[in-house]
Structure formats: C-alpha cells, structure tokens
Amino acid sequence: MVATREKYSNNTLKDTYYDIILQRVIRDEYKSGDIITEKSLVDEFNVSKSPIREALISLCNERLLKSIPRFGYEVMSISEQTVSEMLDYRVVLECGYLERNWDAITGKRIARLEELLYKDYRKPEQREALEHWGKNCNFHLALFSFWGNAFSYERLADVMRTLGIVYVRSYWKTLHLTRVSSGANYHKQLINYFTDGDKKAAVECLKEDITEFFTPGT
C-alpha cells in the first residue's frame, strides 16, 4: 500500500473499501474519467451503502474522485501543473525543515535511514512501480518524522500518496530505468552528506532527489 495514512489502519469496513478502491485507482483498473457508483460496489461486495459511501467521500476529499450528484463518482486526472506545484511544495517543506533542523540529525537517525535504503537499487527493472514508490515514501517520511511536526507530516503523506498515484499510473511508463535508479542513489548520497556533516550539500541533494524523481526520460 502506498503511503496509506495511519488513520486508515483500524481495519473498519470503510477503511477496507477505501484501500480497495484506492488500489484500483493506483493500478489503473479505474482510469481517469471512469465513473464509479455506490450501487456497483454495494452489489460487488454485498455490503450496506454506508461504508462504501464513506470510503468514496474520503477519496473525494483527497481529490482522487469527484462526486457527481445522482450519477456517481468520477476518477480524477492529475494535471502536470498540479504535479509541478506538489513538487514545489515538497521542496519548500522538506528542504526547509532539513535546513532549519540540521542539528537534529544524529548517528542513530542516520542509521535508521540506512535501514531504509534500497538494497537492490542496482536492479530497478526487477521492482514493480508500486513497491519502488513505497520505499521512496518510507525514506522521505522517515526523514521528515525526525522534525516532530505531526501536522506537516500528515500533509506531506497526503502529497506523497497523490504523487505515487501519478507515478504508478503515468510516469512509470516514460521514465528511463536509470532515472528510477537515481532515487536510491540520491538517498545513499544524502546519508553520506549527513555523515560528513555537509549541510549545504545535503539540502541540495534532497532538492534534486525531489525534483528529478519525476523527470521523464528522453
């Protein structure tokens, strides 16, 4: 599961159907412009309307679906402009917090990030897009968790999840494998800068990791 928020971890019926629908959007089983109806899901899962409706509303709140009264829920597309704005947001948020909280980087925290490095980063062609993005999310969210701002962490997790859907559905088809590998290389280099105490290089490395991860191959 890509960046599913902790609030969806209680395994209620709504949570279950939220995850099912989200996975279908991520895997492009529900394509942009498709219409999902409550009735079709109620019939498929043989459950009441309430948990299905709650799950659909949650996805609308995250702008992955759009409610069309008396018709259904449209699967939304995510524009290049929106992706660009999200990446800009991540640069400001993640790099800004790293620069401001540099002294919070400790040996123990560096070791934690090392545990999250892709051990198989030299073989990106063997990794599914969803798994790759999940590992990328884990690294960035772990780093951001060091700063202790729960509100900003949740906002970053929201953005990462949306970008993950774009990545899996669209960008994966156009990225060179060398570009996919670069995400892991950036993380490895970032840890080296942490170890060396090179703040300026670390901030720049993090910025490049964020902005280049979605650069289409040529």
From 75, 90, 111, the end of a domain falls on 75
Is position 201 within any domain? yes
Task: Specify the CATH number for the domain of residue 204.
Answer: 1.20.120.530
Whether residue 217 is contained in a domain is answered as no
**23, 189 contact by CB (below 8 A):** no
- The verdict on residue 1 lying in a domain is no
Q: Give tens-digit pLDDT for 5-42.
A: 433 334 588 989 998 998 888 777 898 899 999 999 99
The pLDDT, as a whole number, for residue 189 is 95
Among the ranges given (48-57, 180-189, 191-200), the one the predictor scored with the smallest mean pLDDT: 180-189
pTM of this structure: 0.72
DSSP string, 141-195: HHHHHTT--HHHHHHHHHHHHHHHHHHHHTGGGT--HHHHHHHHHHHHHHHHHHH
Residues 6+ apart with CB under 8 A from 79: none
42/112 same-domain check: no
Task: Report d(CA 191, CA 18) in Å as an integer.
Answer: 35
Residue 85 within any structural domain of the chain: yes
Segment (H or E) for 4: none
Distance in angstroms (rounded) separating the CA atoms of residues 59 and 53: 10
Q: Which of 55, 51, 56, 77 is nearest to 67 (CA)?
A: 56
Together in a domain, 166 and 98: yes
* 8 Å CB contact between 51 and 12: yes
pLDDT digits (tens, 9 = 90+) for 139-165: 999 999 999 999 999 999 989 988 887
For residue 128, tell me if it sits in a domain. Answer: yes
**Spatial separation of the C-alpha atoms in residues 25 and 99, rounded to whole Å:** 35
117 and 20 in one domain?
A: no
Domain of residue 51, residue span: 6-75
pLDDT score at 10: 41
Tally of domains in the chain: 2
> Residue 160 has which token pair?
């990462």
Looking at every residue in the chain, the average pLDDT score rounds to 83
